[in-house]
Amino acid sequence: MGIEIEQPCVELSNVAVSETHGENSPYFAGWKAYDENPYDEFTNPSGVIQMGLAENQVSFDLIEKYLEEHPEEASTWGNGASGFRENALFQDYHGLKTFRTAMASFMEQVRGGRAKFDPQRIVLTAGATAANELLTFILANPGDALLVPTPYYPGFDRDLRWRTGVNIVPINCDSSNNFQITPEALEASYKDAEAMNFKVRGVLITNPSNPLGITIPREVLEEILDFVTRKNIHLVSDEIYSGSVFSSSEFTSVAEILEARENRNAERVHIVYSLSKDLGLPGFRVGTIYSYNDKVVTTARRMSSFTLISSQTQHLLASMLSDERFTESYMETNRERLRKRYQMIIEGLRSAGIECLNGNAGLFCWMNMSPLLEKPTREGELELWNTILLQVKLNISPGSSCHCSEPGWFRVCFANMSEHTLEIALQRIRDFMARIRTETETESA
Amino acid sequence: MTQTRKPAPKPEAQNPSFSTSGMKLIVPLQGVVQGRGGLLLGTLVPCALFYFLQLYLKRRRSSDATCATPPSEPALPRTSSRSNLSARAGSISRVRISRLASQISRPDDSLYYVGLDRVSIDPFHALHNPHGVIQLGLSDNKLCFDLIGEWFARSLEGSVVSTSLSINGIAPYQTFDGMMELKMALSDFMHQVMGESVKFDPSNMVLTAGATPAIEILSFCLADHGNAFLVPTPYYPGFDRDVRWRPGVDLIPVHCRSADNFNLNITALEQAYSQARKRGVKVRGILISNPSNPVGNIMTQDMLYSLLDFAEEKNIHIIADEVFAGSTYGSEKFVSIAEILDSDYIDKSRVHIIYGLSKDLSLAGFRVGVIYSFNDSVLAAAKKLSRFSSISAPTQRLVTSMLSDKRFIREYFETNRKRIRQVHDEFVDCLSKLGIKCAKSSAGMFCWADMSGLIRPYSEKGEIELWEKFLSVAKINITPGSSCHCIEPGWFRICFTTITLEEIPLVIERIRRVVESCKSSS
C-alpha cells in the first residue's frame, strides 16, 4: 500500500472542486467499469465489453506490419512491433504503471534514497511547464496570489499567470545574505499581497534555485514549511534541478523534511519534477507532479488530459529509468561534468574580473556585473545587456527579467555548449572587460 | 493623373435591395426591435453615431477607391444577396479574439525571451557562423548526451539508432508548436484524408498533445470566461470538459432531432443565438464536429455554406472538429470546411479546424493534435499556449516517418475504410434484426442507436436505467444519449471498432438478452 497521509483542510480552487470535468457522467463512469473488469476472449470472457470509446482497432495489424518492415522507426519505439498496439492506444491519464514506478524510484535515487516516493502519488504532465500551470489552476482562483522568491525563472510569469489569472507577489531576496529567503521576507511578501487585496494561496520555491544556482539550506526549508503551515497555504517545490547538484549531499528536498516530520501537514506540499534538466531531454516533454494531497492528485490527474506524455515516450524511458546501474552512474558522471564546467566558467570570469554568487547546483551561474553599470538602475542593466548582446555577441539573461531587486546581476548558462564554445565565450568576455578597462583608464588619464 | 471624386462605389458592389448601408442601419437597430425599449435612448444614440460613422467611412472609402488602382474583381457568385454584404461586413467588423489571446499574441517584452529570439536569428556556429551570438541564456544540459545515446543504442533490441533518429536531434528543446517536418507531413496527410480537394499550409498549424488540448486552447483564444459557444446536440461529452472547465466558456445546445436524422438546421441555430442574446450571454462561436460524434453523419456542402453565412452575419467564429474525417465508410463524400473557404468573400479568419491522429490513425496514446487556423492572431496566441501541451519529440519523429510513407498511408486508408464499413454494416444489420434501428451514418466508429422503445419511462431516467442494465447485466459499455445532451431520450452511441467481425455475434447475443428482458418486463 502507498504512503497514507492525513488530509485536513487546506483549500483548493473553485476549478479544482467543480464538477465541470464531467467525470461523474455515465460517459466516463462506463469506462471505469470497463477498466475494472475488461473483457478478454480467453482470460475474462464475462468481462465488460468496451463499446463506449471511439477507438479504432480494426486496422492495427497494418501498422504493426509497417513497423516490422521499418526497424529504424521501430527503434524509437523499442522492440520491434510487440506491444505497440496496446501502447499506441493507451491514453489513460494514470500513465504507464512501469513508467510511473520508474519515475518514483528515479526521484528517490536523485535524493540519495533519503526520501520515499509512492508511484500512486505521481501525476504525469508534458513537461514541468505544464505541471506548474496545472498546480496553479488547482491551488488558486483567478485574482489570488502565489508568493515566489526573487529572482525567479522568467517562464513563471507565463506558466503561473497566463491562463490561470493568478498573480505572483515577490518574496524579495538580495545579495546582503546571498539571496537567501528569510522569515521576514516571507511575512513582508504576505503583507504586500494583502495590501493589494490578493488572497495568498501558496508559496512556490525552486530548489535548487533558478537563476541563482544554489540549493536552499535545510533550516530555510524548515522555516518556509512552518510559514505555510501557519498561514494554512500550499507549498510548491519545483525540484527540477535536484539531479544537477554538484555534490549530492548538499541538496535537501522538502520530501526529506516531511519524512522527518512523519508527514505531518504534508497535504499542503507538492513537488514538481522533470527530466528536461537532469537528463537533458527537454524535447521529450516529461514532467511530474508529486503531491501529498489526495484531492490534488485526483484533480491533477484529470486535468493532465490536456497535457499527457506520449505513451511511446513513457515506454521508451520506463526501462531506462528503472535501469538502476545506468542511472546511478549517469547521475555521478553528470554531477562531475557539471562541477567541472562550473569551475571552468567561474575561473574564466574571475580572470576577467567578474565575480559570481557562490553556487553549488544548476546549469548556470549568477554573475555580478553591477560594478560595470553606468547607473545602478534597471535601465543601466538593460544598457549593459544590450551591449553584451550586440557587441560581445553573447546572450545572457538580465536579472531584471528574473525580477531581481538589485540591478547588475546576470544568469549565464554553461551546460548547453561544447567546452570549445565556452572558451570562445570566455575569451570574448575577457576582451570586452579589457576594452572597458582601457576606456576607463583613458578617461581618467 | 488627376483624381476625380466619385461618390458612388463600383458597380459590382452595388445591390439595391440589401445595400450595404441598408444592412448597417438594420443591424444596430436590431437591439431596439428586439424589445429592449427601456434602453431606447441608450441604444438609439450609439446606433445613430454608428450609422453616421458608417456613412462617413463609406464616403471615405469611395474616394480612396478612385485613388488606388482598382483590382480587377470577378463577379461574385451570387448564391444569396447576404453573401454579398459579407464582403463589406467582413472588412469592417473583424471577428474578435479573447482578451487573453490579444494579450499574449503580442511580442514578448521580457528580455529573457527577446534574447532567445536574437540567438535564433544569428546563432553561433564554430565553423559556419563564428561571429554569431553564443547562447548562454538557455538552461539546457547537453553534457551527457553521449551516455544517453549509448544506453539507447545498447538497449533497443537489434537496432541501430540511425542518424536521422539519433538522440541529438530529438532530445533538445523543440519549438513548442511542433517540428516543421511533422507539420508538413500532417498537411500532406490531411490533404489525402480529406479527399485530396484542399491543400493545407503547414504555417497555419499549431500542433498539440492530442485534439483535447487543441479544443481547450482554441476556447481560451476565441472566447472570454463567461462567454459561450453554440453546439449542435447530440455532442461529444468531452466538449464539456474541454470548453467549460478551465476556459469557463459555456456550451449552449442547439437541438437536432431524429426527424432530421439529427442534422443541424439554421432556424434552430438562429433561435438558440437570439435566446442567448436575450439572456445577455455573449456568443463567440459555433462548435461543430464533422463528421459528427456521436451520430456519424456528414455535413452537406450547403449546410457548411449556411453555417458560414450565419457566422459572418453574427461575426462569430466556427470551430470545426474534423477528427473523424478519415473514418468514412458510406457513400457520402466528406467535405472539409477548409474546402469551401476558397471563395474570396468569406472571412477566413473566423474558421478554425481541429484534427488529430487518435481516430484516423489509431494513435491515441501518442498525443498528436492539430489546430488549423487562418487567423494570425489566433495562431500566435495558440503557438504560445502550446508550451503546455507539446508533442514529445521522439513521437514527432516516428509519426513523421510513418506519415511520409505515402504508399503505406494509402494502403492503410483503403483497408481501414473497407473494414470499418464491413463491421458497421454487419453490426447495424444485426441490431436491426433485434428491432433496434440506427440513425443514418456515413462516418465514425459508432452507430447511433434508437432504443427509445425499450426504455420505461420515456425519459432520461428510463434511459439511464437501460444503460445500467447494459453495463451490469449484459456487461457492455455503451454511451447514453443524455451524456451527449441529446434532447430525445433513448438514443445510445455504440462503438463497433473495438470488436472484431467474429465477436459481433457474442455482442449481439448479450444485447438480445437485454432487449428480451425489457420487452418481458413491460
Beta carbons of A205 and A235 less than 8 angstroms apart = yes
pLDDT in the model for residue B178: 95
Indicate the residue of B141, B471, B482 with minimum beta-carbon distance to A363: B141
Mean pLDDT on A259-277: 95
Which of chain B's residues have a Cβ under 8 Å away from the Cβ of A312?
Answer: 365-366, 392, 394-395, 398
Say yes or no: A197 contacts chain B, CB-CB below 8 A: no
Q: Is some CB atom of chain B closer than 8 A to the CB atom of A9?
A: no
Q: In which band, very low, low, confident or very high, does the pLDDT at A79 lie, cut at 50, 70 and 90?
A: low
CA dist., res. B163 & res. B519, Å (int): 65
Confidence of residue B307 (pLDDT cuts 50, 70, 90): very high
Average pLDDT over residues B6-33: 41
Q: What cell numbers appear for B86 in the block?
A: 459579407
CB spacing of A154 vs B113 below 8 angstroms: yes
> Average of pLDDT values for B13-39?
44
Which of A162, A335, A369, A395 to probe by mutation at the B interface, max B CB count within 10 Å? A395
Dihedral of alpha carbons B288, B294, B298, B303, sign: negative
Note whether B144 contacts A334, CB cutoff 8 Å.
Answer: yes
Strand partners, A273: A288
What would you report as the CA-atom Rg of chain B, rounded to the nearest whole angstrom?
Answer: 27
Which class for A439: exposed (0-12), middle (13-18), buried (19 or more C-beta within 10 A)? exposed
CA distance A223 to chain B (A): 29
Of A57, A74, A80, the CB nearest to B362: A57
Sort out which chain B residues have CB atoms less than 8 A from A34's CB and list them.
477
Do A126 and B293 count as a contact with CB atoms less than 8 A apart? no
> What φ, ψ does residue A323 adopt, rounded to 5°?
-80, 85
What confidence tens digit (pLDDT) does each residue in A383-422 have? Answer: 999 999 989 999 999 999 999 999 999 999 999 888 999 9
The rounded distance, in Å, linking the Cα atoms of B357 and B380 is 23
Helix (H, G, I), strand (E, B) or coil at B251: strand
Cα B335 from Cα B440, distance rounded (Å): 17
pLDDT of residue B63: 43
Is residue A277 annotated as part of the catalytic site, yes or no? yes
Q: CA of B3, closest CA in chain A: separation in Å? A: 48
pLDDT at B383 over 90: yes
Report the b/e string of B476-510 with b at 16+ CB within 10 A. bbbbbbbbbbbebbbbbbbbbbbbeeeebeebbeb
A to B CB pairs, distance under 8 Å: 397
**Model pLDDT, residue B87:** 40
Separation in Å, CA of A328 to nearest CA in chain B:
12
Distances (CA, A) of A285 to A281, A330, B258, B390: 8, 20, 45, 7
Q: Is the pLDDT of residue B102 over 90?
A: no
Residue B296's closest chain A neighbor by CA?
Answer: A54
Q: Residue B54: pLDDT above 90?
A: no
Tens of pLDDT along A310-350? 998 998 899 889 888 889 989 999 999 999 999 999 999 99
Mean of all residue pLDDT scores within chain B: 82
Task: Note the pLDDT of residue B350.
Answer: 94
Q: Which residues of B touch A299 (CB under 8 A)?
A: none
Mean pLDDT of A369-393: 92
pLDDT at B119 over 70: yes
Check if A375 is active-site.
Answer: no
Q: Which residue has the cell 473553485?
A: A14
More confident residue, B308 or B164: B308
Q: What is the pLDDT of residue B74?
A: 37
- Tens digits of per-residue pLDDT, A128-160? 999 999 999 999 999 999 999 999 999 999 999
Catalytic annotation, pick one of A5, A240, A309, A396: A240
* C-alpha distance from B398 to closest chain A C-alpha (Å): 6
Look at residue A51 in the predicted model and tell me its pLDDT: 81
Residues 215-244 of A with CB under 8 A from B: 244
Cα–Cα distance between B467 and B455 in angstroms, integer? 10
Chain A positions touching B142 (Cβ under 8 A) are 280, 415-417
Q: Tell me the residue type at B290.
A: N
Which of A311, A401, A416 minimises the CB distance to B135?
A416
- A75 pLDDT tier (thresholds 50, 70, 90): low
Residue to mutate among A49, A339, A396, with most B CBs inside 10 A, is A49
Asked if A55 lies within 8 A of B387 by C-beta distance, the reply is no
Measured between beta carbons, the chain B residues lying within 8 angstroms of A54 are: 293, 324, 359, 444-446, 495, 497
Task: Return the pLDDT at A245.
Answer: 94
User: Are A308 and B151 an interchain contact pair (Cβ–Cβ within 8 Å)?
Assistant: no
pLDDT over 80 at B514, yes or no: yes
Output the 3-class SS for B159-228.
CCCCHHHCHHHHCCCCCCCCCHHHHHHHHHHHHHHCCCCCCCCHHHEEEECCHHHHHHHHHHHHCCCCCE
**Alpha-carbon gap, residue A189 to A390, rounded angstroms:** 37
Q: Which three cell numbers stand for residue B250?
A: 459555456
Q: Does residue B354 have a pLDDT over 60?
A: yes
Annotated catalytic residue, options A144, A159, A238, A278: A238
> What is the nearest CA distance from A258 to chain B, expressed in angstroms?
29
**Are the beta carbons of A126 and B390 separated by less than 8 Å?**
yes
**Percent of chain B topping pLDDT 70:** 79
What average pLDDT does range A348-364 have in this prediction? 95
Q: CA Rg, chain A, in Å?
A: 24
The pLDDT value recorded for residue B49 is 61
Average pLDDT over all residues of chain A:
90
pLDDT given at position A78: 55
pLDDT bin (cut points 50, 70, 90) of residue A101 is very high
Would the CB atoms of B139 and A87 count as touching at under 8 Å?
no
Interface of A with B in 254-313 (CB under 8 A): 277-286, 303, 305-313
Can you give the pLDDT at residue B159?
42
Active site annotation includes A159: no
Q: Which helix (H) or strand (E) holds A320?
A: helix A311-322
Coil, strand, or helix at residue A367? strand
- Tens digits of residue pLDDT in B477-492: 899 999 999 999 999 9
pLDDT of residue B126: 84
Q: Tell me the shortest Cα–Cα distance from A412 to chain B, in angstroms.
A: 5
**Chain B CB within 8 Å of residue A354 CB:** no
User: Tens of pLDDT along B400-440?
Assistant: 988 998 888 888 888 888 999 999 999 999 999 999 999 99
| Chain A nearest CA to B82, separation (Å) | 38
The pLDDT assigned to B50 comes to 59
Q: Note the pLDDT of residue A400.
A: 94
Widest pairwise Cα distance in chain A: 95
Segment A203-250, tens digit of pLDDT: 999 999 999 999 999 999 999 999 999 999 999 999 999 999 998 789
Residue A238 among the catalytic residues: yes
Angle subtended at Cα A386 by Cα A384 and Cα A390, rounded to the nearest 5 degrees: 120
Would you say the C-alpha torsion A325, A331, A336, A337 has a positive or negative sign? positive
Q: Which chain B residues are within 8 Å of A320, Cβ to Cβ?
A: 148, 151-152, 155
Query: Strand B317-321 vs strand B283-289: parallel, antiparallel, or unpaired?
Result: parallel
Which among B134, B478, B498 has the least Cβ separation from residue A55?
A: B498
pLDDT for the residue numbered B81? 40
Is residue B225 predicted with pLDDT exceeding 60? yes
Q: Which residues of B touch A363 (CB under 8 A)?
A: 139-141
Give the pairing type, strands A200-206 and A234-238.
Answer: parallel
Indicate which residue of A5, A144, A153, A273 is catalytic. Answer: A153
| Tens-digit pLDDT profile for residues B166-185 | 666 777 788 899 999 999 99
Quick: pLDDT tens for B61-88.
444 433 333 333 333 333 334 443 334 3
Alpha carbon of residue A161 to chain centroid: 16
- Spell out which residues of chain A touch residue B131, defining contact as CB-CB under 8 Å: 393
How far A53 CA sits from the closest chain B CA (Å)? 6
Contact check, Cβ <8 Å, B137/A320: no
